Amino acid sequence: MKTIKLGKTGVTIPILGQGTWGIKSFRSKSYYKKWKESIKKGIELGITHIDTAEMYGRGTSEQILGHVISEYDRDDLFITTKLFPMHLRYKTMKKAAYKSLKRLGIKEIDLYLIHWPSPFNSIKTQMRVLEDLVNEGKVRYIGVSNFSVKQFKEAQFYLKNTELVSNQLHVSVARQKHIGKSLSFYQKEGIIMTAYSPLGHNGFRNLKGELRNKLEMVAKTHNATIQQIAIAWLVNHENVITIPKAFKIKHMIANAEAANIRLSDKEIKLFYEDGRELERIKIVSA
């Protein structure tokens, strides 16, 4: 699995991570067993970065993931989770972090993100929570999710001793707003853009029209599926990683393969919605 530098931390992480949104609460043992098997297959294939959040299945995702983590050497995995900023005060936000650590059964979260910008709590307080967690040794690296560049810069402004390493954003070949508007900023600053819902949340099952035709055309050249091309397209951009969710093992395998597909500049540009805006974007060099 190819890796990428995590900001200025000196650490590298795989260009492909595993998403875990969609895990349901109160399901049968066999449901969770199947899900765990898929995660483990991903780990075996080098997809050792796993993304979760306190709100996924109201803690169930973190809890089940905790079972999987306990079977591995902790240092071999990179775990991202997210603070849902509905906990309004400094203390309640910190408590939420401790609960995530407990559910995951780990001493330190590798990457802790503010899940969404919150109108209810000052960004200054949220950054203080994150920075204090780093100082306490509960969190290694911090970032945000669903922040605009303006919000990202404001958040960074309030940090004293640490830096945001990633912004997790809704980005796919079918949803390019952040590629056009903010990727050049993250590339310049050496910050990771983590693309979530890279397959449109439903595996591009109902994708139609010009985009599907283009994906099919490129997929044929690479003897791949349209989903693999959609994943490859993202990670063929500098500073972009992606975290598709795959409950099915066959999807996990296909996704791991997709990370190795090298698209030509022409193939990458074929999908751009606005050529002018995207001229500044750097793609991974051969």
| 58 forms part of the interface with ligand NAP (CB under 6 A) | no
Contacts of 46 (CB under 8 A, 6+ apart): 1, 14, 16, 256
Residues 83-102 close enough to bind ligand NAP by CB under 6 A? none
Q: 7 or 117: whose CB is closer to ligand NAP?
A: 117
The site that binds ligand NAP (CB under 6 A) totals a number of residues, namely 28
**167 lies in the site for ligand NAP, by CB under 6 A:** no
Which residues from 222-261 bind ligand NAP, rule CB under 6 A? 225, 227, 243-248, 251, 254-255
* Shortest distance, position 232 Cβ to ligand NAP, whole Å: 11
| 284 touches ligand NAP (CB under 6 A) | no
Q: Can residue 200 be called a binding residue for ligand NAP (CB under 6 A)? A: yes
Q: Which stretch binds ligand NAP (CB under 6 A): 27-35, 93-101, 104-112, 194-202?
A: 194-202
Residue reference for tokens 């991570």: 17
Q: Collapsing DSSP states into helix, strand and coil, what is residue 47?
A: coil
Is 31 exposed, middle or buried (CB count within 10 Å of its CB: 0-12, 13-18, 19+)?
Answer: middle
Does residue 31 bind ligand NAP (CB under 6 A)? no
3-state helix/strand/coil string of 100-168: HHHHHCCCCEEEEEECCCCCCCCHHHHHHHHHHHHHHCCEEEEEEECCCHHHHHHHHHCCCCCCEEEEE
As a residue count, the chain comes to 286
Under the binding rule (CB under 6 A), the answer on residue 5 touching ligand NAP is no
- Is there binding between residue 146 and ligand NAP (CB under 6 A)? yes
22 is a site residue for ligand NAP (CB under 6 A): yes
Q: Does 262 interact with ligand NAP (rule: CB under 6 A)?
A: no
112 scored as a contact of ligand NAP (CB under 6 A) = no
CB burial readout 163-186, b (16+ within 10 A) else e = ebbbbbbebbbbebebbbebbbbb
* Minimum distance of ligand NAP from residue 244's CB (angstroms): 4
Of 223, 224, 225, 236, the closest CA to residue 281 belongs to 236
Q: Could you tell me if 94 and 131 are in contact, meaning their C-beta atoms sit under 8 angstroms apart?
A: no
Residue 41 interacting with ligand NAP (CB under 6 A): no
- DSSP string covering 61-76: HHHHHHHHHTTS-GGG
Residue 63 contacts ligand NAP per CB under 6 A: no
Contacts with ligand NAP, residue ranges (CB under 6 A): 19-22, 51, 115, 145-146, 168, 196-203, 225, 227, 243-248, 251, 254-255
